[in-house]
Amino acid sequence: MEDTIIAAATPPAFSAIAIIRMSGPESLDIINSLLREKLTWEPQKLYYKKLYFADELLDDVVLAYWKSPRSYTGEDMVEISCHGNPFIVENILEACQKRGARLALPGEFTKRAFLNGKMDLTQAEAVIDVIQAGGRLALKSAQAMQSGRLSHELLEVRTELIEILAEIEAYIDFPEEDIEPQVGNLLITRLLSIENKLKSLIASAPLSRLLREGFTIVLAGSPNVGKSSLFNALLKENRAIVSPHPGTTRDTIEAECRISSFLVRLIDTAGQRESSDQIEEEGIRRAKEAVKKADLILYMVSAPGDPSLDPFRLPELDPHQKVITIASKVDLGLHPANKDKLALSTVTGVGLEELEEEIKKILKAFFPQDFSFGINSRQQAALLKIAEAIHKAICGIKNQLAPELISSELRSSLDIVGEIVGLVSAEDILDKIFQKFCIGK
């Protein structure tokens, strides 16, 4: 990269300190042009200085110089720590741009780090996951990816595929010889081992998606059983209108929160009953759709009421969907038939702590004990293609197909492994990945 880029690395808000990053061959020249006294730079040393532009003081700053290749991007870098006033940050950015820097594109610092060999593509993708991690397990997964866990496993797969490919292609040079059954069985065993490893990685994708996007928890039940009150209690704020009149909630209401260390999307729904009101009917339809998409359903009944008289029943659920049955409004009494349910009152607070513990236990159970990281959708799609190609190669060996055909499938697998870690990469793929980043990263 021949040009020099600059961007704020901290959000545009009033704070004690803001950080501006500059990367590229002109970084030192540009910052020197804003200093009134000559400075002999030493890498990784802090300098307290005043920056000027056109004889006007920009700010008192702390400067740090990172010399190529020992920097985040692998290029010469300067980090400017200034007062956290967005007006000051804007002035410094504008001054540096007038001296030759250009404003960085989203993710461009990390893209340069990847292109300069400071990290592979899976590690680069993990940077945004570390920044946006919504809980402890999500952060642990992102950090494992950033440390190179996925690329390490895939490079092991790549090495094994190359060795198997070399054996198979040896038969291409001797067309009069077929792959011996004993050799074929050994190759199949090795390929099955790779296939099992890929299946394990692919199975982590839905779990990774839950960590990034959050669990969907839906509150469902008949009208006036306390769904909106519980929704507000879990959010610890008044988001939904609460009324003693049935049918107050006529649409789904969504909000994000954290329960324990998990990111959660809570959905309050309309009470489900027979209705002739078109607006309420639409709300009930949306409530049913929300239940279908839920990871966890808080199924609510009235604690003092006879559950056999409650007209609402949950539909048939998918195996992965979990349910907690709650006897709400227990402060008004508890029907004997509801004693096996989680008794709760948003008025007195009874049962709220127990409910949160139960939610935490259920969400935690979605993940196996040995879960350490999960792959993203791009990596999942690529691994599915590799698994398919390896399966075809196994069938080819079993059916004694020509070595050239088996070799073609394995070479295809190798190319896709290269695409995942960034050994082979198209510019449009890189653009898609890095445009999700914030500008200063």
79 is in an annotated binding site: yes
Q: 150: which 2 tokens?
A: 């996925």
* Residue 429 confidence (pLDDT): 55
The pTM assigned to this predicted structure is 0.76
249 is in an annotated binding site: yes
* CA proximity to 110, closest of 119, 101, 97: 119
350-376 pLDDT per residue, tens: 999 999 999 999 999 999 888 999 999
Amino acid, res. 57: L
Q: 98: which 2 tokens?
A: 């007038």
173-190 pLDDT per residue, tens: 666 666 777 888 999 999
Strands 46-53 and 15-23: unpaired
Please name the residues in contact with 18: beta carbons below 8 A apart, sequence gap of 6 or more. 8, 10, 81, 82, 83, 84, 85, 86, 88, 89
81 is in an annotated binding site: no
268 is in an annotated binding site: yes
Helix %, strand %, coil % for the chain, to 5? Answer: 45, 20, 35
Place of tokens 């099992």: 196
Q: Is 2 exposed, middle or buried (0-12, 13-18, 19+ CB in 10 A)?
A: exposed
* Residue 299 confidence (pLDDT): 92
227 is in an annotated binding site: yes
83 is in an annotated binding site: no
254-265 pLDDT per residue, tens: 888 888 888 899
Q: What is the mean pLDDT of residues 310-328?
A: 89
348 is in an annotated binding site: no
Phi–psi pair at 47, nearest 5 degrees: -130, 125
CA distance 313 to 307: 10
224 is in an annotated binding site: yes
247 is in an annotated binding site: yes
413 is in an annotated binding site: no
228 is in an annotated binding site: yes
270 is in an annotated binding site: yes
For residue 268, pLDDT over 80 is answered with yes
Place of tokens 């007038």: 98
The residues with which 264 forms a beta bridge, in sequence order, are: 215, 257
CA distance 431 to 441: 14
CA distance 202 to 206: 8
* CA proximity to 87, closest of 13, 148, 10, 32: 13
114-162 pLDDT per residue, tens: 999 999 999 999 998 998 888 888 999 999 999 999 999 999 999 999 9
201-252 pLDDT per residue, tens: 999 999 999 998 899 999 988 888 888 889 999 988 765 444 454 444 445 7
CA distance 159 to 144: 21
* Residue 2 confidence (pLDDT): 81
212 is in an annotated binding site: no
Q: What is the mean pLDDT of residues 40-47?
A: 94
Ranking 51-60, 238-247, 297-306 by mean pLDDT, the lowest is 238-247
Place of tokens 């500059």: 22
CA distance 191 to 157: 10
91 is in an annotated binding site: no
In this prediction, residue 427 has a pLDDT band, given cuts at 50, 70 and 90, of low
Q: 156: which 2 tokens?
A: 């092991």
Q: What are the structural domains, with CATH classification, of the chain?
A: 5-120 (3.30.1360.120), 135-204+375-422 (1.20.120.430), 213-364 (3.40.50.300)
* Residue 402 confidence (pLDDT): 86
* Residue 440 confidence (pLDDT): 63
319 is in an annotated binding site: no
Distance of CA 301 to the CA centre of its chain: 35
27 is in an annotated binding site: no
Q: How far is CA 47 from CA 42, 84, 166, 322, in A?
A: 10, 18, 56, 57
346 is in an annotated binding site: no
CA distance 73 to 66: 10
For residue 378, pLDDT over 70 is answered with yes
Pair 421, 430: CB distance under 8 Å = no
